[in-house]
């Protein structure tokens, strides 16, 4: 890290946020010493004490001998890699770092992912408040990585290096450099979507320094994992990097649930260190896993609905069948061009093509359902059944669950998708008189295609029910058959009957433009907009009943305005207003039935953000502080129809979430690092369904916090030891709009201890959920998935 000195203008900064004011006063005290490098004689103990406080995050004292024989102790102050405020966001359309971007942005840096031995995107995002994992609902199921940000769906808002990742799969983290969560509507940057925010993954790409890294992990749940990371500089301007992963594990605390996956990601850069460079990346991941839809919500008379495990049902119970599977294969090829044409103009062009293949078969358990009656191969409604009657009525051993989600499904399907996206952007920097400008504009074109072939079960009635207390995945004689041979056993959708094929495609052409103008050196205004022309089609063909064809064509405009007060390079106070839109046909790959004949004319969801915040990088960039208050409003909300096999309908609801978010990250003392966050949310339904008005938004906690801290004992000696740990806490949440079912709070304690044998070899041990608390991860309206139980993971790594 480069030596950094706190800007002396900071003494003149009247920050409006109390947190920043406190840091300002302390930093001013520290700067009473000479700037970044302080020299103290051995006798000057009081000055050395002050230097110790001011420079606790530096590389420590270095003693040198003068020509006259006296000794001098020098302190070198450097920025901390745990301070995320100067972290680049990682996409060409947002060229500034976190500090100078007027939105709440959470970063999971590489150092934290290494210390926590993070193995997936889901694990990385445990460090970010306001993110909830959810599982798919309805006939087709979704599974894979399905996240909510500030309570709003973000399943189509996952990006890698600024380009959408359209796939539906569980992402391994072996190729991650860092994960950046940009909160709030960002359609002006990303296009349609991003109601709650966007998740941008920055991948590992070639650097100028050679390295050879490998690690092996093993532990609880028959966990075996190996990773590889090689970087080699071929010439002065060409470098190559290769990362790879192999992983096998069962899930601790869940029967039958496992993941077997492997991945590889080579990349090469031409023009390393030059004004014109081009990076080519290839990514492949294959995963064979068992989908886990958790345990059902039970409803006891006179109380909130709760997960069945809160009433003594075994947390290990899994309610699938031996035919359940989630087998995915992902291939993505990305090319990224950067050209600094001159000191005024920088041009970027990012291109990606993706191929996604997936066979998915899952059981979605539910406490209540309509029984299936099989008459001459036809499925129809029978009498209703509710497991609560038996479980709470004294006959718990006879209580049964439906594996079909309460409707006619889900059935297995083969999903094959492809996508292509190209984003051309340019940044122009210039002055008009005393006003400095930065203009950004570009063109974003993308197309995605989805095809699903539905399969059927030869005996859906035998598959339907499973015992609540003693489930068995074995159903004698059950098999999967081609839906074309027996269309009467295909899943029955409400709008098109029992269909063999489902196909969807969407094309988006977006133009975006923004300008930031510095009216004074310390005050600037940024304003911009994006126009999108969206076309989507959807069809259900084959099988029984008439074929159905649907489509949408919509034009949307999303503006953004920000006011920024930046008195120096270390602080910013901002106000942002932005909007986003989400057309119904946006979720081509992520939703089982995005369009129907009833909803294809619905207008897009629209959301608005009002945010006031402050960011401050203190103590020579060793510690970063952020604070923000926001109000997020969503209108024309849509929801899934629980009676129609996953179809989407308009709820007519308007929703609002507002709150406070705080974070601190960096180096407290020389060997003590910490990253911590806190969020307080006040969310309600403000209009629409009468029973829901005034109720708390589902999946949104009122309070949420995370902390991770480490301390290094005797670094650079043979006795070195790093110890650390952290906690994630999420207050209990409602899982339905009417607030009749609630999931208890999550509290998880994790820890790490590691030792370096030398500069190259390290051994570590991680402990997860040390209290073995019954927590819940993936959430949906009628079921939740228990998180892992207590687990330990050993890791041996080499770095040359």
Q: CB of 118 within 8 A of CB of 168?
A: no
Residue 652, pLDDT score:
58
CA 347 and chain centroid, separation: 28
Among 481, 473, 116, smallest CA distance to 292 is for 473
* Structure token digits, residue 752: 């790490």
**Rounded Cα–Cα distance for residues 297 and 62 (Å):** 61
pLDDT over 60 (residue 498): yes
- Entry field: residues in the chain: 800
Strands (E), 99-153: 105-108, 131-133, 147-149, 152-153
Q: How far is CA 204 from CA 158, 174, 336, in A?
A: 17, 9, 13
Residue holding tokens 């294809």? Answer: 600
The Cα 789–Cα 523 span in angstroms is: 51
pLDDT of residue 764: 97
541 burial (CB, 10 Å; 0-12 / 13-18 / 19+) is middle
Nearest-CA neighbor of 408 among 297, 491, 513, 295?
491
pLDDT grade, residue 195 (50/70/90)? Answer: confident
pLDDT over 70 (residue 648): no
pLDDT, mean of residues 222-241: 96
- 184 by Cβ neighbours in 10 Å (0-12 / 13-18 / 19+) ranks as buried
179 in Cβ contact with 609 (< 8 Å)? no
Which residue do the tokens 């608390």 mark? Answer: 773
**DSSP SS3 for 310:** helix
Q: Which tens digits make up the pLDDT trace of 112-146?
A: 999 999 999 999 999 998 888 765 444 444 567 88
Query: Does residue 240 register a pLDDT over 80?
Result: yes
pLDDT at 600: 63
Q: For residue 259, what pLDDT is reported? A: 93
Question: H or E element: which one contains 383?
Answer: strand 378-386
3-state class of 28 per DSSP?
helix
Residue 722: what pLDDT?
A: 96
Of 12-21, 102-111, 322-331, 361-370, least confident by mean pLDDT is 12-21
Token pair belonging to 563: 């006011």
Residue from 691, 789, 702, 798 nearest 745 by CA: 702
Asked if omega into 410 is within 30° of 0 (cis), the reply is yes
Token pair, residue 541, equals: 């063909």
Degrees to nearest 5, angle at CA 132 with 143 and 450: 30
Q: How far is CA 303 from the centre of its chain?
A: 33
* Domains, in order of start, for the chain: 8-76 (no CATH), 105-799 (2.40.170.20)
Q: Is the predicted pLDDT of residue 509 greater than 80, yes or no?
A: yes
Band of residue 162 on the pLDDT scale cut at 50, 70, 90: very high
Position with higher pLDDT, 195 vs 772:
772
Contact assessment for residue 698 and residue 737, using Cβ atoms and an 8 Å cutoff: yes
Inter-residue contact 458 to 486 (CB < 8 Å): yes
Helix %, strand %, coil % of the chain (to 5): 10, 55, 35
- Reference 524, options 612, 599, 438, 429; nearest CA is 438
Strands annotated E in 344-412: 345-361, 368-375, 378-386, 400-402
Opening angle at CA 464, ends 459 and 470, nearest 5:
125
Percent of the chain with pLDDT over 90: 61
pLDDT, one tens digit per residue, over 662-698 is: 999 999 998 999 999 999 999 999 887 788 889 999 8
Residue 206 CA to residue 279 CA, distance in Å, equals 9
Q: Are strands 197-203 and 158-160 parallel, antiparallel or unpaired?
A: parallel
Q: Report yes or no: 87 and 97 within 8 Å, Cβ to Cβ.
A: yes
367 compared with 750, residue with greater pLDDT: 750
| Beta-carbon-side half-sphere exposure of residue 261 (alpha carbons within 13 Å) | 29
pLDDT at 583 over 90: no
DSSP string, 45-99: HHHHHHHHHHTTTSS-EEEEE-TTS-EEEEEE-B--TT--TT-B-SBTTB-SBST
> Is the separation of the CB atoms in 286 and 745 below 8 Å?
no
Q: 500: helix, coil or strand? A: coil
**Predicted pLDDT of residue 383:** 72
pLDDT in tens, 522-581: 999 999 999 999 998 988 899 888 888 888 888 999 999 999 999 999 999 999 999 988
What contacts 59, CB < 8 A, 6 or more positions away? Answer: 76, 78
**Contact between residue 599 and residue 587 where contact means Cβ atoms under 8 Å apart:** no
Of residues 502, 529, 775, the one with CA closest to residue 646: 502
pTM of the model: 0.86
Distance of CA 660 to the CA centre of its chain: 20
Q: Which residue, 651, 611, 634, 636, is CA-closest to 700?
A: 634
- Burial letters 662-684, b for 16+ CB under 10 A, else e: bbbbbbbebbbbbbbbbbbbebb
The DSSP secondary-structure symbol of 60 reads -
Are residues 370 and 384 in contact, defined by beta-carbon separation less than 8 angstroms? Answer: yes
Cα–Cα dist 199/147, whole Å: 9
CB 261 within 8 A of CB 285: yes
Between the ranges 363-372, 584-593, 682-691, where is the mean pLDDT highest? 682-691
Cα angle: 523, vertex 528, 530; to 5 degrees: 160
Supply the pLDDT for residue 356. 96
Q: Please state, rounded to an integer, the average pLDDT across all residues of the chain.
A: 84
């Amino acid at each position: 890290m480069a030596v950094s000195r706190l800007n002396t203008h900071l003494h003149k900064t009247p920050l409006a946020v109390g947190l920043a004011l406190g840091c300002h006063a302390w930093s001013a005290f520290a700067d009473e010493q000479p700037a970044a490098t302080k020299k103290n004689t051995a006798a000057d103990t009081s000055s050395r004490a002050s230097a110790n406080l001011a420079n606790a995050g530096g590389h420590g004292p270095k003693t040198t001998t003068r020509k006259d024989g006296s000794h001098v102790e020098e302190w070198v102050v450097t920025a901390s890699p745990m301070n995320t405020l100067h972290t680049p966001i990682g996409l060409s359309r947002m060229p500034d770092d976190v500090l100078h971007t007027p939105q709440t942005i959470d970063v999971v840096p590489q150092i934290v992912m290494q210390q926590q031995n993070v193995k997936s995107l889901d694990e990385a995002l445990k460090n970010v408040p306001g993110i909830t994992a959810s599982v798919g609902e309805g006939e087709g199921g979704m599974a894979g990585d399905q996240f909510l940000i500030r309570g709003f769906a973000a399943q189509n808002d996952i990006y890698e290096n600024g380009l959408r990742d359209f796939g539906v799969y569980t992402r391994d983290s072996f190729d991650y450099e860092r994960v950046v969560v940009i909160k709030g509507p960002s359609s002006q940057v990303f296009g349609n979507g991003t109601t709650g925010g966007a998740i941008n993954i920055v991948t590992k790409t070639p650097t100028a320094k050679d390295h050879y890294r490998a690690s092996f992990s093993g532990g609880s749940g028959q966990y075996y994992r190996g990773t590889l990371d090689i970087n080699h500089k071929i010439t002065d301007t060409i470098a190559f990097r290769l990362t790879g992963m192999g992983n096998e594990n069962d899930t601790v605390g869940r029967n039958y649930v496992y993941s077997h996956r492997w991945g590889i990601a080579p990349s090469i850069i031409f023009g390393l260190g030059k004004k014109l460079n081009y990076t080519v990346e290839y990514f492949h991941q294959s995963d064979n896993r068992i989908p886990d839809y958790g345990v059902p919500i039970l409803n006891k008379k006179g109380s909130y609905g709760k997960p069945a495990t809160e009433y003594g049902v075994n947390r290990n119970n899994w309610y699938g069948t031996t035919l359940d599977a989630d087998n995915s294969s992902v291939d993505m090829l990305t090319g990224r061009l950067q050209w600094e044409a001159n000191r005024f103009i920088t041009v970027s062009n990012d291109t990606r093509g993706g191929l996604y293949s997936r066979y998915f078969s899952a059981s979605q358990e539910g406490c209540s359902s309509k029984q299936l009656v099989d008459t001459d191969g036809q499925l129809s409604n029978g009498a209703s059944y509710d497991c609560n009657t038996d479980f709470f009525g004294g006959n718990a051993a006879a209580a049964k669950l439906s594996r079909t989600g309460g409707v006619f499904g889900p059935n297995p399907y083969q999903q094959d998708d492809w996508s292509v996206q190209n984003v051309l952007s340019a940044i122009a920097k210039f002055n008009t008189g005393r006003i400095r400008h930065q203009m950004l504009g570009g063109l974003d074109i993308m197309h995605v295609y989805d095809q699903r072939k539905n399969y059927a079960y030869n005996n859906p009635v035998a598959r339907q029910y499973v015992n609540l207390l003693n489930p068995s995945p074995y159903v004698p004689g059950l098999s999967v058959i081609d839906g074309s041979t027996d269309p009467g056993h295909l899943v029955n959708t409400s709008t098109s009957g029992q269909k063999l094929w489902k196909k969807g495609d969407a094309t988006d052409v977006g133009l975006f433009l923004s300008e930031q103008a510095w009216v004074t050196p310390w005050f600037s205004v940024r304003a911009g907009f994006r126009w999108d022309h969206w076309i989507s089609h959807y069809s259900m063909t084959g099988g029984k009943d008439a074929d159905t064809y649907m489509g949408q064509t919509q034009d949307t405009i999303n503006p953004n305005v920000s006011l920024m007060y930046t008195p120096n390079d270390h602080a910013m106070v901002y106000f942002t207003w932005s909007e986003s839109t989400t057309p119904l046909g946006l979720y081509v790959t992520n939703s089982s039935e995005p369009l129907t004949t009833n909803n294809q004319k619905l207008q897009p969801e629209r959301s608005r953000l009002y945010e006031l915040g402050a960011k401050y990088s203190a103590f020579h960039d060793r510690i970063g502080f952020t604070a923000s208050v926001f109000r997020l409003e969503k209108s024309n909300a849509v929801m899934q129809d629980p009676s129609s096999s996953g179809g989407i309908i308009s709820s007519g609801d308007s929703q609002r979430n507002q709150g406070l978010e705080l974070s601190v990250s960096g180096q407290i003392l020389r060997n003590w690092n910490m990253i911590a966050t806190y969020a307080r949310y006040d969310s309600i339904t403000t209009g629409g369904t009468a029973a829901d008005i005034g109720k708390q938004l589902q999946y949104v906690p009122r309070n949420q916090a995370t902390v991770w801290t480490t301390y290094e004992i005797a670094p650079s000696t043979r006795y070195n030891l790093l110890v650390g740990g952290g906690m994630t806490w999420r207050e209990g949440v409602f899982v339905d709009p009417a607030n009749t079912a609630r999931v208890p709070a999550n509290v998880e304690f994790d820890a790490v201890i590691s030792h370096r044998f030398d500069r190259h070899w390290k051994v570590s041990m991680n402990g997860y959920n040390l209290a073995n608390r019954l927590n819940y991860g993936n959430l949906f309206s009628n079921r939740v998935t228990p998180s892992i139980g207590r687990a330990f993971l050993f890791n041996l790594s080499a770095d040359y």
